[in-house]
């Protein structure tokens, strides 16, 4: 029997994504300081925070596989946070109109017993359509994505804002790179949603 799997997050979006795999897991808040270091770029930031989240939760358990993840949105070289208000969301989408927004997602899997880790970062590019003010206002009124970095929900009406998406795994855009996580689990011979012989070519 495998040790328990713990998602070091209380994010509804990450919980829903991980549930798609069929894995049995629990969730725990990591309680860390997420303030970026001076001069820290987005790729380094998300990897550090994913690792710190996994470590913070792993230290509270004698056994278990802990999943830590963090994501930031970058537009015009600047990290874009959650808007928190209609006005700020409008400004974010107006700035993103016709541009490419890159999401950087860090992922860490830690063994609570040994402390060993697997760590990676996955980028995902969102190519926005040119949006009119009325399109932006209509979208925000319909979906109210004020708790989402970048001011959209790609799993909902937000998909209408894009020309195309570029990345390995669309789940990464929502907040958890499931394909990479399955690879990590397989590296350690952990539970998979399908038997190993069904994951290869038929």
By annotation, the residues acting in catalysis are 70
Residue 37: DSSP 8-state: P
Tell me the C-alpha distance between 117 and 100, whole Å: 32
Residue 62: DSSP 8-state: S
66: enclosing H helix or E strand? strand 65-75
Cross-strand pairs, 166: 125
Tell me the C-alpha distance between 106 and 48, whole Å: 8
Pinpoint the alpha helices (H) of the chain. 12-19, 42-58, 86-96, 133-143, 170-174, 178-187
The sign one gets for the Cα dihedral 178, 78, 145, 93 is: negative
Residue 69: DSSP 8-state: E
Contact 186, 192 (CB under 8 A): yes
Q: What is the dihedral of CA 18, 32, 115, 73, to 10 degrees?
A: 50
Tell me the C-alpha distance between 111 and 123, whole Å: 25
């Amino acid at each position: 029997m495998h040790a328990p799997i713990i998602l070091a997050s209380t994010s509804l979006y990450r919980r829903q994504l991980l549930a798609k795999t069929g894995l049995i897991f629990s969730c725990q808040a990591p309680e860390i300081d997420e303030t970026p270091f001076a001069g820290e770029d987005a790729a380094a930031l998300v990897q550090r925070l994913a690792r710190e989240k996994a470590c913070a939760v792993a230290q509270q358990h004698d056994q278990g596989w802990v999943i830590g993840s963090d994501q930031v949105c970058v537009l015009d070289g600047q990290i874009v946070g959650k808007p928190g208000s209609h006005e700020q969301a409008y400004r974010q989408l107006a700035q993103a109109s016709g541009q490419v927004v890159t999401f950087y997602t860090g992922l860490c899997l830690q063994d609570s017993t040994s402390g060993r880790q697997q760590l990676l970062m996955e980028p995902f590019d969102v190519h926005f359509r040119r949006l009119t003010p009325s399109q932006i206002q209509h979208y925000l009124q319909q979906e109210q994505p004020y708790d989402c970095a970048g001011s959209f929900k790609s799993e909902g009406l937000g998909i209408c804002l894009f020309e195309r998406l570029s990345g390995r795994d669309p789940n990464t855009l929502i907040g958890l790179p499931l394909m990479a996580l399955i690879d990590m689990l397989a590296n350690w011979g952990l539970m998979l949603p399908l038997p190993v012989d069904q994951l290869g070519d038929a």
